[in-house]
Structure 1
Amino acid sequence: MDRIRIVGGNHLEGRIPISGAKNAALPLMIASLLTDDTLTLENVPHLADVEQLIRILGNHGVDYSVNGRRESQNEGYSRTINFTARNIVDTTAPYELVSKMRASFWVIGPLLARMGEAKVSLPGGCAIGTRPVDLFIDGLQALGADIDVDSGYILSKAKNRLRGNRYVFPKVSVGATHVLMMAATLARGETVLENAAREPEVVNLAECLIAMGAKIDGAGTSTITIEGVDALSGARHRVIPDRIETGTYAMAVAMAGGDVLLEGARADLLQGALDVLAQTGTEIIPVNSGIRVRRNGAGISPVDVTTEPFPGFPTDLQAQFMGLMTMAKGKSRITETIFENRFMHVQELARLGAHITLAGQTAIVEGVSKLKGAPVMATDLRASVSLVIAGLAAEGETVVNRVYHLDRGFERLEEKLSGCGATIERLSS
C-alpha cells in the first residue's frame, strides 16, 4: 500500500494547476444515462473515483472513449471523455459496485426517468457518517415512483414516466438535489424543488442538462424549476475547476508560507472559504489566470469557523482548515454541522503535536509553535490531506499511510506540491 513521505519546512513558490472538480464530474457522468446520444465532458480529473464510476456506468451499458490531453497540458491531468448510453443493458446497480463509491447510488434518478425502473443497492454507511438516502426516496416518490426496499436494494418503478410535482427538501442535500433534478428532466409536467442545494456543482450539472435540452430555471438558488421534456440529446460540457482542491492548496500555502498561483481556480466558487482564509493573515489575490495565494513571514491568526451549505464554509475543507489552525497564534473553534464523525483526523493531528479538544460537534484548537513529523494514518479523503498540510510545516519527516484515500480526490497531489518546492514523495509498497 502506497504512502506519502513529507519533510516539512519548505516554503511553496510557483504555480499549481487546479483540476476539474470531482464532485461536479461524478453527477455529470451519471447524466449520460439520460440520453442515447453522446455526452462529451471536458476537464474530467484523473481520479480513482472517476475510474470507479466509469466501471459502474459500463455495467449499465455506457460506452466511453478518452480524447487526448489538452494542448500544452501536462500528461496525466484532466481529460476529455465521451460517454454514450445508447443501449441500457442493465438497470441494476449491485451492492459490490455501489458499496465502493457512494455517489454511484445516484444512477437511480436517470435510470428511473429514462427506463421506468431501477434496482439500486443501498450504499450503507461511510467513515464520516451514515448519510441516509431517505431524501432520495421521498423525493422520487413525490415524482410518482413506486419504491420498495428488499434485501438491501431500492426497487423503484415509474409506469408511464415520472410526474412533475413540488418537493421541499427537509434539509439541504447536494446528492438528492442532483438526483431529483436529473429525474425531473424527463418527467411529465413541471417539478419545483424547494430548499434545494445551491452548490456550484449543482449549477454545473444544470448547465449541462440545459445543453442537453432540459428546461431548468433557478439552479444556484434554493428553488429550482424543471419542465420535463420527452427526450434529451447529447452535448459538450466542461467540468468546473475543483473548489475543494483550490481551498486545500490555498491552505497549504498559508501553512507552509510562500507565494503560489492556483492556475485556473475561480474565486466565486469558494468565496466563503477564501474570506475565512484571508482572516488568518493570508493574502488572497484573484487574477485573470486564477488565484494567487501568499503568506510571507507573518504568523497565522486564529479564526472560528462553522461549516455550512454553500455559500458558507464547506465541510469538505473543515479538516484542512483544522490542520492550518494547529499552528495559529491562539485558540480557534471549528464547528461541524453537516456530517457526524468528521473529526477522525483529530487524533492523527495530535500525533504531530497538535493540541485539540472536542466538545460535541466543535473542535477547540490551541495553536502550537511547532509540529513534529510522525507516522500518521489517513481515515478518509479530506482528513488525509489535512495531514499533508500539517506535514508541510512540521519539523522532520511525516509519513501518511493509506493514501488511497487521497487518490480518490486529488490528482497528482505530490507532483503539484513538489513542483512548488515541497519535499514530498510517494513511497510504493
Structure 2
Amino acid sequence: MDKIRIVGGRTLNGTIPISGAKNAALPLMIAGLLTEEKLTLENVPRLADVALLQRILGNHGVDITTAGKRNGDDPHAGQTLEIDARAIVDTTAPYDLVSRMRASFWVIAPLIARMGEARVSLPGGCAIGTRPVDFHLDALRALGADLEIDAGYVVARAPKGLQGGRIVFPKVSVGATHTALMAAATAQGETVIENAAREPEIGDLAACLNKMGARISGAGTATIHIEGVPRLRGARHAVLPDRIETGTYAMAVAMTGGDVTLAGASPDLLESALDTLRQAGAQVEATNEGIRVRRNGAGILPVDVETQPFPGFPTDLQAQFMALMTKAKGNSRITETIFENRFMHVQELARLGARIHLDGDTATVEGVERLTGAPVMATDLRASVSLVIAGLAAEGETLVQRVYHLDRGFERLEEKLARCGAQIERISS
C-alpha cells in the first residue's frame, strides 16, 4: 500500500495547475446515459473515482474512450473523454460497484428517464435518511416514478415516461439536485425544483445539459425551472476547475508561507474560503492566470468558521482549514453543520502535536508554536489531505499511510507540491 513521505519546513513557490473538478466530472459522465449521441467532456481529472465510474458505466454498455492523447501532452492537463451510450445493455447497477462510490447511485435518474426502468443498489453502509438517499427517491416519485426497495436495491419504473412536477427538498442536497436535474430534463412538462443546491457543480451540469438540448433555467439559485424535452443530443463540454483542490493548495501555501499561482483556478467558485484565508493573514488575489496566494513570515491568525452549503464555507475544506489553524496564534472554533463524523482527522493531527478539543459538532483548535512529524493514517479523502498540509509545516518527517484516499480526489498531489519546493514523495510498497 502506497505511502507519502514529507519532510516539513519548506515554503512553497511556483505554479500549481488546477485540475477539473471531480465533483462536476462525475455527474457529467453519468449524464451521458441520457443521450444516444456522443458526449465529449474536456478537462476531466485523472482520478481513481473517475476510473471507477468508467467501469460502472461500462457495466451498462457505455463505451468511453480517451481522446486526443499525444506524446508530449502535459500530464497535468485534463483528459478528454468521449462517452457513447447509444446502446444501454443493462439497467441494473450492482452492489459491488455502487458500494464503492456513492455518486454512482445517481445513474438511477438517467436510466429511468431514458429506459423507463432501473434497478440500483443502495450505497454501501447507507441507512435511508443518512446522507439522504430518500431525497433522491422523493424527487423521482414527484416525477411519477414507481419505486420499491427489494433486497437492498431500489427498483424504479416509469413505463410511460416521467412527468414534470414540483420537487421541494426539505434540506439542501447536492446529489439529490443532480438526480432531479437529470430526471427532469426529458420528463413531459415543466418541473420546478425548490430549495435546490446552489453549488457551482450544479450549474456546470445544467450548462452541459442545456448544450445537449435541455431547457433549464435558474441553476445556481434555490429555484430551478426545467421544461422537459423529448430527447437530448450529444455535446462538447469542459469541466469547471476544482474549487476544493484550489482551496486545498491555497491553505497549504498559507500554512507553509511562500508565493504560489494556482493556474486555471476561478475565485468566483470559492469566495467564502478565500475571504477566510485573507482573515487568517494570507494575501489572495485574482490574476489573469488564476489565483495568487502569498504569505510572508507573519504568523497565522485564528479565524472561526462554520461549514455551510454554497456559497458558504465548504465542508470539503473543513479538515484542511483545521490543519491550518493548528499553527494559528490563538484559538479558533470550527463548526461542522453538513456531515456528522467529519472530525476523524482530529486524532491524527494530534499525533503531530495539534491541540484540538471536540464538543459535539464544534472543534476548538488551540494554535501551537510547532508541529512535529510522525506516522499518521488517512481516514478519508479530505482528512488525508489535511495531514499532508500539516506535514508540510511540521518539523521532521511525516509519513501518511492509506493514501489511496488521496488518489480518489487529488491528481498527482505530491508531484504538484514537489514542483513548488515541497520535500514530498510517494513510496510504493
TM-score normalised by L of structure 2: 0.98
- 1:169 counterpart residue number: 169
State the alpha-carbon separation in 2 of the partners of residues 70 and 221 from structure 1. Answer: 40
Which amino acid is the alignment partner of residue 428 of structure 2?
A: S
1:292-351 CA-partner distances (Å, limit 9, x unpaired): 000010100000000000000000000000000000000000000000000000000000
Q: Shift of residue 70 of structure 1? A: 8.2
- 1:45 counterpart residue number: 45
State the alpha-carbon separation in 2 of the partners of residues 333 and 256 from structure 1. Answer: 21
State the alpha-carbon separation in 2 of the partners of residues 76 and 312 from structure 1. Answer: 29
* Partner SS, residue 408 of structure 1: helix
Q: How does 1:171-210 map to 2 (within 5 A)?
A: 171-210=171-210
State the alpha-carbon separation in 2 of the partners of residues 124 and 92 from structure 1. Answer: 16
Verify: 1:366 aligned to 2:335, yes or no: no
CA separation of 1:16/1:71 partners in 2, compared to 1, >3 Å: closer, same or farther?
farther
Pairwise CA RMSD of aligned residues? 1.2
CA separation of 1:365/1:73 partners in 2, compared to 1, >3 Å: closer, same or farther?
farther
State the alpha-carbon separation in 2 of the partners of residues 197 and 420 from structure 1. Answer: 35
State the alpha-carbon separation in 2 of the partners of residues 77 and 48 from structure 1. Answer: 16
State the alpha-carbon separation in 1 of the partners of residues 302 and 417 from structure 2. Answer: 25
Q: Is 1:125–1:131's contact at 8 Å kept on the other side of the alignment?
A: no
State the alpha-carbon separation in 2 of the partners of residues 180 and 132 from structure 1. Answer: 14
Q: Shift of residue 132 of structure 1? A: 2.8
* Partner SS, residue 248 of structure 1: helix
State the alpha-carbon separation in 2 of the partners of residues 13 and 24 from structure 1. Answer: 28
* Partner SS, residue 80 of structure 1: strand
- 2:2 counterpart residue number: 2
Q: Is 2:357–2:364's contact at 8 Å kept on the other side of the alignment?
A: yes
Q: How does 1:40-189 map to 2 (within 5 A)?
A: 40-69=40-69, 74-75=74-75, 77-125=77-125, 130-189=130-189
Q: How does 1:12-411 map to 2 (within 5 A)?
A: 12-69=12-69, 74-75=74-75, 77-125=77-125, 130-411=130-411
- Higher mean C-alpha displacement, 65-74 vs 278-287: 65-74
Q: Is 1:69–1:78's contact at 8 Å kept on the other side of the alignment?
A: no
Q: Shift of residue 131 of structure 1? A: 1.3
For these two proteins, the number of residue pairs brought into alignment is 427
- Higher mean C-alpha displacement, 65-74 vs 330-339: 65-74
State the alpha-carbon separation in 2 of the partners of residues 195 and 145 from structure 1. Answer: 21
State the alpha-carbon separation in 2 of the partners of residues 428 and 112 from structure 1. Answer: 42
Gaps of 5+ in 1: none
State the alpha-carbon separation in 2 of the partners of residues 225 and 73 from structure 1. Answer: 40
Q: How does 1:407-426 map to 2 (within 5 A)?
A: 407-426=407-426
Q: Shift of residue 72 of structure 1? A: 7.6
State the alpha-carbon separation in 2 of the partners of residues 78 and 251 from structure 1. Answer: 23
Q: Is 2:100–2:124's contact at 8 Å kept on the other side of the alignment?
A: no
Q: Shift of residue 229 of structure 1? A: 0.6
Q: Shift of residue 77 of structure 1? A: 3.7
Q: Is 1:355–1:368's contact at 8 Å kept on the other side of the alignment?
A: yes
CA separation of 1:70/1:41 partners in 2, compared to 1, >3 Å: closer, same or farther?
farther
State the alpha-carbon separation in 1 of the partners of residues 337 and 426 from structure 2. Answer: 34
* Partner SS, residue 131 of structure 1: coil
State the alpha-carbon separation in 2 of the partners of residues 361 and 373 from structure 1. Answer: 27
State the alpha-carbon separation in 1 of the partners of residues 341 and 78 from structure 2. Answer: 32
Q: Shift of residue 97 of structure 1? A: 0.3
- Higher mean C-alpha displacement, 85-94 vs 131-140: 131-140
CA separation of 1:12/1:73 partners in 2, compared to 1, >3 Å: closer, same or farther?
farther
Which amino acid is the alignment partner of residue 234 of structure 2?
A: G
Which amino acid is the alignment partner of residue 7 of structure 2?
A: V
1:360-407 CA-partner distances (Å, limit 9, x unpaired): 000000000000000000000000000000000000000000000000
State the alpha-carbon separation in 1 of the partners of residues 321 and 218 from structure 2. Answer: 31
State the alpha-carbon separation in 2 of the partners of residues 389 and 46 from structure 1. Answer: 21
Q: Shift of residue 73 of structure 1? A: 5.1
CA separation of 1:71/1:205 partners in 2, compared to 1, >3 Å: closer, same or farther?
farther
Q: Is 2:98–2:124's contact at 8 Å kept on the other side of the alignment?
A: no
CA separation of 1:73/1:294 partners in 2, compared to 1, >3 Å: closer, same or farther?
farther
State the alpha-carbon separation in 1 of the partners of residues 289 and 76 from structure 2. Answer: 21
State the alpha-carbon separation in 2 of the partners of residues 72 and 274 from structure 1. Answer: 34
* Partner SS, residue 319 of structure 1: helix
Q: Is 1:69–1:77's contact at 8 Å kept on the other side of the alignment?
A: no
Q: Is 1:46–1:77's contact at 8 Å kept on the other side of the alignment?
A: no
Q: Shift of residue 64 of structure 1? A: 1.1
Q: Shift of residue 74 of structure 1? A: 1.9
Q: Is 2:15–2:261's contact at 8 Å kept on the other side of the alignment?
A: yes
State the alpha-carbon separation in 2 of the partners of residues 415 and 428 from structure 1. Answer: 14
Q: Is 1:124–1:130's contact at 8 Å kept on the other side of the alignment?
A: no
State the alpha-carbon separation in 1 of the partners of residues 359 and 394 from structure 2. Answer: 26
Q: Shift of residue 75 of structure 1? A: 2.1
State the alpha-carbon separation in 2 of the partners of residues 224 and 71 from structure 1. Answer: 43
- Higher mean C-alpha displacement, 284-293 vs 75-84: 75-84
Q: Shift of residue 76 of structure 1? A: 5.3
State the alpha-carbon separation in 2 of the partners of residues 156 and 18 from structure 1. Answer: 38
Which amino acid is the alignment partner of residue 250 of structure 2?
A: A
* Partner SS, residue 186 of structure 2: coil
